[in-house]
C-alpha cells in the first residue's frame, strides 16, 4: 500500500490560499481528495487499456486491479490522503529488489503462456509437466510439448526492479486536476452566506 502525497511548495501554497479563504476548509480538501482519487483511477484504467502484457498471452489486467484499489480520501482541514491498497503498487512506484520468500527461486515467465501464472498454475492449466533445465550457470523451467523442449520460466535468486516512471500520473496534470476541484469547491462555498472566513 502507498499513500499519495503532493507536497511541492507551489502546490502547498495554492491549496493554503484556497482553504484559508473559506469557513469550512475540510470541504475544499474533500473535493481535492475526490478529484485526486478519480484522477488516479483514470490514469490506471488508461494504462490498462494501452499497455498490453509485454510477453503477450492472457491479460492479467494488473493496472485495472490497481485502479480498483484506489481508496476514498481521508480528509481533514489541512490534508486529504489517498491510499492505494494494492500489494504491488509500492514496488512499481519505488522499484527495488525482489527475492523469493517461500520458494528457492523466482520463476520469471519468458513465454506468453506462462505470463501471470505461477508454475503450478501453468502445469494445471496446460497439462504440461515442468522440469528444471540448466545451461551455462542459468536455470530454467521447461516442458516437452510434443514438438520438443520449450523454456517457460527463468529461475532467479532475485531481481532488482527499476521504478516505473508512469506508475503515478504526470505530476503537473495531477496537481492541476486537484487544484481545479479545490478552486471550484472554494467558489461554491463563497457563494453561500457565511462561506468566507471572517
Report whether pLDDT(198) > 70.
Answer: no
Do 26 and 119 have their domain in common?
Answer: no
Do 15 and 89 have their domain in common?
Answer: yes
Inside any domain, residue 134:
yes
Q: Are strands 159-161 and 96-98 parallel, antiparallel or unpaired?
A: antiparallel
Q: How far apart are CA 160 and CA 139, in angstroms?
A: 18
Q: How far apart are CA 180 and CA 18, in angstroms?
A: 10
Q: What percent of the chain has pLDDT over 70?
A: 95
Inside any domain, residue 110:
yes
Do 149 and 66 have their domain in common?
Answer: no
Q: Mean per-residue pLDDT for 151-163?
A: 93
Inside any domain, residue 61:
yes
What is the strand order of the sheet 149-156 is part of? 106-109, 149-156, 138-144, 131-135
Do 80 and 53 have their domain in common?
Answer: yes
Report whether pLDDT(97) > 90.
Answer: yes
Inside any domain, residue 101:
no
Enclosing domain of residue 138: 106-156
Report whether pLDDT(1) > 90.
Answer: no
Inside any domain, residue 143:
yes
Do 34 and 78 have their domain in common?
Answer: yes
- Would you say 152 and 109 are in contact if contact means Cβ atoms under 8 Å apart? yes
Do 91 and 111 have their domain in common?
Answer: no
Report yes or no on whether pTM surpasses 0.75: yes
Q: What is the mean pLDDT of the chain?
A: 90
- pLDDT digits over 28-39, tens only? 999 999 999 999
Do 80 and 30 have their domain in common?
Answer: yes
Q: Mean per-residue pLDDT for 107-118?
A: 89
Do 146 and 74 have their domain in common?
Answer: no
E strand or H helix at 155, and its extent?
strand 149-156
Do 89 and 56 have their domain in common?
Answer: yes
Most confident residue range from 53-62, 81-90, 137-146: 81-90
Inside any domain, residue 34:
yes
Do 55 and 20 have their domain in common?
Answer: yes
Exposure string (b/e) for 151-170, b if CB count within 10 Å is 16 or more?
A: bbbbbeeeeeeeeeeebbbe
Report whether pLDDT(4) > 80.
Answer: no
Inside any domain, residue 195:
no
Length of the chain, in residues: 198
pLDDT at 104: 87
Do 46 and 73 have their domain in common?
Answer: yes
Do 152 and 175 have their domain in common?
Answer: no
pLDDT at 187: 94
- pLDDT digits over 59-84, tens only? 889 999 999 999 999 999 999 999 99
**Overall domain count for the chain:** 2
Amino acid at each position: 500500500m502507498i499513500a499519495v502525497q503532493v507536497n511541492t511548495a507551489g502546490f502547498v501554497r495554492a491549496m493554503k490560499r484556497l482553504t484559508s479563504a473559506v469557513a469550512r476548509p475540510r470541504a475544499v480538501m474533500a473535493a481535492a481528495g475526490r478529484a485526486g482519487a478519480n484522477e488516479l483511477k483514470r490514469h490506471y484504467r488508461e494504462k490498462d487499456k494501452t499497455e498490453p502484457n509485454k510477453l503477450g498471452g492472457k491479460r492479467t489486467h494488473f493496472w485495472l486491479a490497481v485502479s480498483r484499489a484506489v481508496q476514498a480520501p481521508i480528509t481533514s482541514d489541512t490534508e486529504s490522503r489517498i491510499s492505494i491498497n494494492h500489494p504491488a503498487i509500492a514496488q512499481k512506484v519505488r522499484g527495488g529488489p525482489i527475492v523469493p520468500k517461500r520458494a528457492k527461486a523466482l520463476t520469471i515467465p519468458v513465454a506468453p503462456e506462462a505470463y501471470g501464472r505461477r508454475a503450478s498454475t501453468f502445469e494445471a492449466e496446460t497439462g504440461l509437466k515442468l522440469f528444471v533445465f540448466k545451461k551455462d550457470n542459468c536455470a530454467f523451467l521447461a516442458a516437452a510439448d510434443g514438438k520438443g523442449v520449450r523454456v517457460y520460466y527463468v529461475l532467479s535468486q532475485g531481481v532488482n526492479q527499476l521504478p516505473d516512471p508512469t506508475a503515478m500520473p504526470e505530476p503537473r496534470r495531477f496537481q492541476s486536476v486537484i487544484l481545479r476541484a479545490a478552486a471550484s469547491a472554494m467558489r461554491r462555498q463563497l457563494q453561500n452566506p457565511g462561506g468566507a472566513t471572517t
